[in-house]
Amino acid sequence: MFRWEEWPERYKGGVEFLSTEEAKKHLEHWHKQGMVITIMAFGTPYIGGICLCDYPDCIAIRMRMDYGVKPALLKGHQVAKVNYEECIGCGTCAQRCQFGAIKMEITTNKSNIDMTRCFGCGVCVYACSREAIGFVDREKLPTIKEDW
């Protein structure tokens, strides 16, 4: 990005340069608002960018969710899991999940996460005022450990 400074006529003031700390703060703020953070890897391990977006605006999420294009968006290394002792059934996590992974159980009025649909984005973790949602490592779950 810094090379862009060499061609100011190209971005015409449309690019704002942030320090690492400013970028982290920005990411955290919008992640808490419900935006999904994705890493754009233009040929792993090279990182081309870190993106904040949501469905249906995010092309990568749409490509994966609506058209099944797997390479467009891979899942994270962790999967969300609910602590049923803490869940009060408010439903906020289900409303925020961009991937349709959370349903509310009618009989128990608790949140139920379908781990096969979870991308591990963490939006639900921030959304829960009860801190009832945590993560487990995907590799510890035999049925989905190869499901990216």
Q: What is the three-class DSSP state of 142?
A: coil
Q: Distance (Å, rounded) from C-alpha 115 to C-alpha 124? A: 13
CB of 83 to ligand SF4, least distance (A): 8
Buried b (16+ CB within 10 A) or exposed e, 18-50: eeeeeeeeebeeebeebbbbbeeeeeeeeeeee
CB of 44 to ligand SF4, least distance (A): 21
Tell me, residue by residue from 103 to 142, as one string, x for binding to ligand SF4 by CB under 6 A and - for no binding. Answer: --------x-x----xxxxxxx--xx-x-xx---------
CB of 42 to ligand SF4, least distance (A): 24
Tell me, residue by residue from 41 to 80, as one string, x for binding to ligand SF4 by CB under 6 A and - for no binding. Answer: ---------------------------------------x
Judged by CB, which is closer to ligand SF4: 60, or 124? 124
Should residue 87 be labelled a site residue for ligand SF4 when binding is judged by CB under 6 A?
A: yes
CB of 94 to ligand SF4, least distance (A): 7
Q: Does the bond joining 142 to the residue before it have cis omega, within 30 degrees of 0?
A: no
From the list 58, 65, 73, 97, which residue makes contact with ligand SF4 (rule: CB under 6 A)?
A: 97
Residues 6+ apart with CB under 8 A from 39: 47, 49, 50, 51
Q: What is the three-class DSSP state of 113?
A: strand
**Backbone phi, psi, residue 105, to 5°:** -75, 125
CB of 69 to ligand SF4, least distance (A): 17
Judged by CB, which is closer to ligand SF4: 22, or 108? 108
Helix (H) or strand (E) run with residue 50 in it: strand 49-53
